[in-house]
Structure 1
Amino acid sequence: MRISQLEGRRVALWGWGREGRAAYRALRDRESGIGNRESGKNKPPASLTLFCNPDEVMEARALGDDALTVETEASAERLAAFDVVIKSPGISAYRPEALAAAERGTRFVGGTALWFAERADARTLCVTGTKGKSTTSALLAHLLRAGGQRTALAGNIGLPLLELIGDEADAWVIELSSYQTRDVAASGVRPEIAVVTNVFPEHLDWHGGEQRYVEDKLALVAEARPRVAVLNADDPRLNALGKRIESGVGVTAGAEGSRDFPAAACRRHSHSGGGAAGVVRWFNHADGWHLRGDMLHRGEVAVLDTAGLPLPGRHNRGNLCAALAAIDAFGLDAAALAPHAASFAPLPHRLQALGEHDGIVWVNDSISTTPHASLAALEVYRDTRVAILLGGHDRGVDWGAFADRLRERPPHAVVTMGQNGPRIHDTLAAAADGRWRLRAADDLAAAVEAARAALGEAGGVILLSPGAPSFGPYRDYTERGRHFAALGGFDPDAITAIPGLGIA
């Protein structure tokens, strides 16, 4: 849906975070002609209704927009009064009031869908995955810029696409969360390249279950039909999806509804017409970009020793493989650009080494919201005396597999905290059997003190890799990471900037 199609319709904005504010500005700028690439053709609705939280009302009304109505209760009845609702990604599309309004004819769109419909001419490299999507996106933008491409880095990484709606770039690197991947398909615009790093359970509360989460995540490939799909050969679901794309014969009945490839995604991905994606570029595969020890290979050719790169952990070097495969698909020589990874600035809150105080090294991995991510963090510090802080918002994720892995290579200490802390503690207590120190804390400050005590005078690493979202005491993982930095004696403002956002 293009912005011009909103003219004459009853339109509402739902959500007043950065995405909601970007949507508002895009509509109002189009009305005034600011940033309009086709002046006079895109006229947004003159009047808008905003549904926001009570504590956001004063900010919205301070805009002085007489044509903006501000409300705080987005009930099914109120939502159904509009033809189109532009919804912020953090608001679940599966909330009962949204489903009820959709049944009555309300169309829900996101800012990502609006941008894609407006910018069908853009060369887009979309990146998603349960973990690694931000680092992969930032690496991809960094390397493209090193290759002389004027490159935009935007999306879920921290800059809404609609903030750049009137800007130009040679390449658009767009990070997409599972909340946004269907937006691309809904736009009707086919992305040039879609990168998927991995898929495992996350955000189950937003999606309402694991199967729907996987379907929504894979919609970037199975429904949006990119020209090239760049997929991780090591991931079972992506391996299954890629092989079906390469086969060009659809999906057999026996595969539908399987754990590796959910039924809805199987049904939607058809090669009998519609121009579905037929090209797959694999990474973590012997024929493509992959690692052999620390050595980076493209096929049989050794390209780069990754040991000295600013990419902690093998999983981050796998993200480099994904970025390089996407660059090849984009038409540039990735092997020539690979050495520029040495000048990459790591992103904050992702295995971010803050520094050392009083014999303790502080590592901020606040972005970790799954047990899988916490295990990857522990792998980086497997030969170190480490105390890991676990816990946060409880989404009902099973920690049994995490406990099993800890038996194989236990850390020095584990401190549980937050809403799901007691549940994690009970799971790990049954597995610990004296192999590691297990402590419980009510909040992050108490967890830090417990970790200090567990490490004692010998020191070591305090690793914040909670494996759970921050909701509750914190607005987001950034705020949680800032608090952790302050508790360690570091300046939070000095550790939170995301390098490379925007167009350069």
Structure 2
Amino acid sequence: MRWAELRDKRVAVWGFGREGRAALAALARHLPGQPVTLFCSTSEAEAARAAFPSVDVRDVTPDAHALAAYQVVVKSPGISAYKPELLDAQVRGTRFTSGSALWFGEHVDARTVAVTGTKGKSTTSALIAHLARFLGVRTALAGNIGMPMLELDDASADLWVIELSSFQTGEAMGVHLGVVTSLYEEHLDWHGTRERYVDDKLKLLSASAQVLVNATQPLLLTRALDHPGLHTFGDASGWHVADGWIRRGDEQVIEAARVAAPGLHNALNACAALAVLEIMGLDARAAAPALSTFVPLPHRLQPLGTHDGLDWINDSISTTPLASLAALETMGGKRTALIVGGHDRGLDWVPFVEAMRTAAPEAIVCQGANGPRIADALEEAGVPGVYRATDLPAAVAAARAALAGQGCVLLSPGAPSFDQFHDYTERGKRFAELAGFQASTASIQGLGIA
């Protein structure tokens, strides 16, 4: 959709997070004077009226009748496209769009790399931008990673690296290269079923002239095989990790340990980033040394330091059980207390439990809304060292007690934060405070254009 299609229409914006604010600001730039309605929460209404005095602010959740009163609704990504009231309004003729869709509609000639995946999409996106800039390419880094596309809609760049969540992949169009880093079960509360999640995630394939997918995942590879512009990473013929090295085929390019972000999964993310450069016509081998100067993203296996004799690692971004497993693998043989649990989205913890039968850490502290369910499954499987805690403060106390001053406390919840916190950032900051550190205000480096 393009801005011209909104001119003189009855338009509403649904949601007042950063995406909603970016949409309102862009509407004012592109369609000055056009009436706009905002649907937001009661707690957001005062700030919305102060920031956008000409907007009709309604602090209610719109029903189908309210939505159907508008010809176009610009929806924030977190609002499910499968809400009954949205579907009802759609049948009545309301068109739903988003900031991402409007950006793509206006930037059909932009050189774009769009990155998605259940895990690894943020780190891979940031790596691509970091390496491209190392080569002197003016590169934009935006999207789901923390900067809405509409905040940059008047800017120019030689390469656009855009992270897309599964909520946004269907809004992309005209993508030069679509990248899928991984494909697991997630966001069932938004998509409704695992099958719909997979279908929505892989809408990026049809929106892209070329695609790059993780060859180590059979389901993902199978779904991409028919794409005429298919490229892969993770297999022996391309960029992959073997014997401690990142390789291009048989060629040893750089030691995996030199990647600043720890773990095999991050070395594989680096392979994806190098493959992207190569596909886009850039010198991937020349960029490889810059992997050692990459600044890992906050709340993603972020070392906080040592306190009370314990090392503390914040992996609050972990929202799936498989992400918790990947985090645990980076610990090697270190004595570890793993904190898991949070908002219950009904994800399958069986693979995690099965892995813990033979590779359990010193302690697994299960907390939050789905903590009891995880603990029950672990205990039924005979996994030792299982602790129960009602919330994050209790979990940190239990981890301290279990380790008795020796080892590492790893927060890698494998679940969203919404049972106790606004988002994973707030959860990570609280973990840092409970560990005895000043809450980190670190943000993702490199957002925007450089």
Judge same fold: TM > 0.5, yes or no.
yes
State the match for 1:36 in structure 2: none
1:323-343, CA deviations, whole angstroms, 9 ceiling, x for partnerless residues? 111111111111111111111
Cα deviation, residue 359, structure 1: 1.1
Cα deviation, residue 64, structure 1: 5.3
1:226-265, CA deviations, whole angstroms, 9 ceiling, x for partnerless residues? 12101100112221023222xxxxxxxxxxxxxxxxxxxx
* SS of residue paired to 1:369: coil
Cα deviation, residue 374, structure 1: 0.3
Cα deviation, residue 347, structure 1: 0.4
* SS of residue paired to 1:432: coil
State the match for 1:256 in structure 2: none
1:26-78, CA deviations, whole angstroms, 9 ceiling, x for partnerless residues? 1102235xxxxxxxxxxxx7101111011111111113523434341311110
- Once the two structures are aligned, what percentage of the paired residues are identical? 53
State the match for 1:240 in structure 2: 222
Q: How do 1:484-503 residues align onto structure 2 when only pairs under 5 Å count?
A: 484-494=431-441, 496-503=442-449
Q: Indicate how the Cα distance of structure 1 residues 64 and 108 shifts in structure 2: closer, same or farther if over 3 A, else same.
A: closer
1:392-449, CA deviations, whole angstroms, 9 ceiling, x for partnerless residues? 000111212211101121110000011101101100111235xx31110111000000
CA distance in 2, matches of 1:215, 1:483: 35
State the match for 2:427 in structure 1: 480
Q: How do 1:222-237 residues align onto structure 2 when only pairs under 5 Å count?
A: 223-224=206-207, 226-237=208-219
Letter in 2 for 1:11: V
**Selected match of 1:437 from 382, 385, 392:** 385
Structure 2 portions without partners, runs of 5+: none
Q: How do 1:93-112 residues align onto structure 2 when only pairs under 5 Å count?
A: 93-112=81-100
State the match for 1:3 in structure 2: 3
Length-normalised TM-score, structure 1:
0.88
CA distance in 1, matches of 2:322, 2:109: 37
1:116-154, CA deviations, whole angstroms, 9 ceiling, x for partnerless residues? 011112111100000000000000000000011010100
Q: How do 1:212-223 residues align onto structure 2 when only pairs under 5 Å count?
A: 212-221=196-205, 223=206
1:290-345, CA deviations, whole angstroms, 9 ceiling, x for partnerless residues? 01121111112111112232121100000001111111111111111111111100
* SS of residue paired to 2:410: strand
Letter in 2 for 1:228: Q
Letter in 1 for 2:357: R
Q: Indicate how the Cα distance of structure 1 residues 411 and 64 shifts in structure 2: closer, same or farther if over 3 A, else same.
A: closer
CA distance in 2, matches of 1:470, 1:139: 26
Checking the alignment, whether the CA contact within 8 Å between 1:49 and 1:71 is kept in structure 2 is: no
Cα deviation, residue 490, structure 1: 1.4
Q: How do 1:383-398 residues align onto structure 2 when only pairs under 5 Å count?
A: 383-398=333-348
State the match for 1:158 in structure 2: 146
Checking the alignment, whether the CA contact within 8 Å between 2:40 and 2:57 is kept in structure 1 is: no
Letter in 1 for 2:447: L
Length-normalised TM-score, structure 2:
0.98
1:354-388, CA deviations, whole angstroms, 9 ceiling, x for partnerless residues? 10012100000000000000000111113110000
State the match for 2:24 in structure 1: 24
State yes or no: 1:339 paired with 2:289.
yes
State yes or no: 1:199 paired with 2:183.
yes
* SS of residue paired to 1:227: strand
Letter in 2 for 1:114: L
State the match for 1:141 in structure 2: 129
* SS of residue paired to 1:395: coil
**Selected match of 2:326 from 376, 381, 398:** 376
**Selected match of 1:423 from 373, 376, 384:** 373
Letter in 2 for 1:21: R
Checking the alignment, whether the CA contact within 8 Å between 1:390 and 1:415 is kept in structure 2 is: yes
CA distance in 2, matches of 1:24, 1:395: 31
State yes or no: 1:65 paired with 2:53.
yes
Checking the alignment, whether the CA contact within 8 Å between 1:382 and 1:411 is kept in structure 2 is: no
State the match for 1:327 in structure 2: 277
* SS of residue paired to 2:213: strand
Letter in 2 for 1:54: T
State the match for 2:408 in structure 1: 461
Checking the alignment, whether the CA contact within 8 Å between 1:382 and 1:409 is kept in structure 2 is: no
CA distance in 2, matches of 1:205, 1:73: 18
1:84-112, CA deviations, whole angstroms, 9 ceiling, x for partnerless residues? 11000011111111111111111111110
Checking the alignment, whether the CA contact within 8 Å between 1:46 and 1:67 is kept in structure 2 is: no
CA distance in 1, matches of 2:61, 2:213: 41
Q: Between 62-71 and 413-422, report the one with greater CA deviation.
A: 62-71
* SS of residue paired to 1:141: helix
CA distance in 1, matches of 2:76, 2:61: 15
Structure 1 portions without partners, runs of 5+: 33-44, 246-277
Size of the aligned set, in residue pairs, is 450
Checking the alignment, whether the CA contact within 8 Å between 1:281 and 1:288 is kept in structure 2 is: no
CA distance in 2, matches of 1:316, 1:292: 13
Checking the alignment, whether the CA contact within 8 Å between 2:7 and 2:31 is kept in structure 1 is: no
Q: Indicate how the Cα distance of structure 1 residues 101 and 331 shifts in structure 2: closer, same or farther if over 3 A, else same.
A: same
Letter in 2 for 1:393: H
Checking the alignment, whether the CA contact within 8 Å between 1:82 and 1:106 is kept in structure 2 is: yes
CA distance in 2, matches of 1:368, 1:194: 23
Q: Indicate how the Cα distance of structure 1 residues 71 and 311 shifts in structure 2: closer, same or farther if over 3 A, else same.
A: closer
Q: Indicate how the Cα distance of structure 1 residues 412 and 64 shifts in structure 2: closer, same or farther if over 3 A, else same.
A: closer
